[in-house]
Structure 1
Amino acid sequence: MVYAIVRAGGRQEKVEVGTVVVLDRIAADKDGNIQLTPVLLVDGDTITHDAKALAKVTVTAEVVGDERGPKIVIQKFKNKTGYKKRQGFRADLTRVKITGIK
């Protein structure tokens, strides 16, 4: 069983080959592929976390599509002063499929 922990979008995600993960918006190359930075690699009983050894590891992914996250409503209110503020936010996301861990 081979899996890796990768750093993507300020978070860490556990990925295996074939896993579909939703990340913050990432720009892909012209073929629609991206490289993710591994933090930890587990290959059976072997666990690799050394920076020099991880520099040789590549985790490749294919961009499935871009999407937007759910709407988040931000409301601020102060009692007895008449202050009300309403704001919305939707995150830009990218859905990727892991194609290889080498």
Structure 2
Amino acid sequence: MYAIIKNGGKQYKVKEGDIICFDKMGLEPKTKVEFKEVLAVDNGELKVGTPFVEGAVVEGEVINEGRGKKVIIFKKRRRKDSKVKRGFRRDFTRVKITAINA
């Protein structure tokens, strides 16, 4: 059984027991989370919402929050003595999916 949920403008395919990194939600560890924007559910037969499946809820529990690995952005213009080096680290919330209710 799996579901496709929408969170933060992105779509995720999840199953029970999966650990997913979402964009930072600002929640404490061991907090219960409900995702009500369920786009599709498959439990033997596929249910696709228009745009969301009515009555479907995906439940999860926050494990922790953290920061991802650093990504280096380097821009250089040849022969112009111009270069820019910048770094970026994505903040995330790690969630364990506990139940899919359809």
TM bucket, shorter chain: 0.7 to 0.9
SS in 2 for 1:80: coil
Shift of 1:8: 2.1
The alignment yields a C-alpha RMSD, in angstroms, of: 2.1
TM-score, normalising length: structure 2 = 0.85
**Residues 55-100 of structure 1, C-alpha deviations (whole Å, 9 max, x = no match):** 3111111000001111000011111211111100000011100111
TM-score, normalising length: structure 1 = 0.85
Shift of 1:29: 7.5
SS in 2 for 1:97: strand
**Residues 41-60 of structure 1, C-alpha deviations (whole Å, 9 max, x = no match):** 0011x211123871311111
What residue is the counterpart of 1:79 in the other structure? 78
Structure 1 residues 12 and 68: CA distance shift in structure 2, 3 A: same
Which 4+ runs in 1 deviate beyond 6 A?
none
Q: How does 1:29-68 map to 2 (within 5 A)?
A: 32-36=31-35, 37-44=37-44, 46-51=45-50, 54-68=53-67
SS in 2 for 1:51: coil
Unaligned residue ranges in structure 2 (runs of 5+): none
Structure 1 residues 50 and 10: CA distance shift in structure 2, 3 A: closer
What residue is the counterpart of 1:9 in the other structure? 8
SS in 1 for 2:80: coil
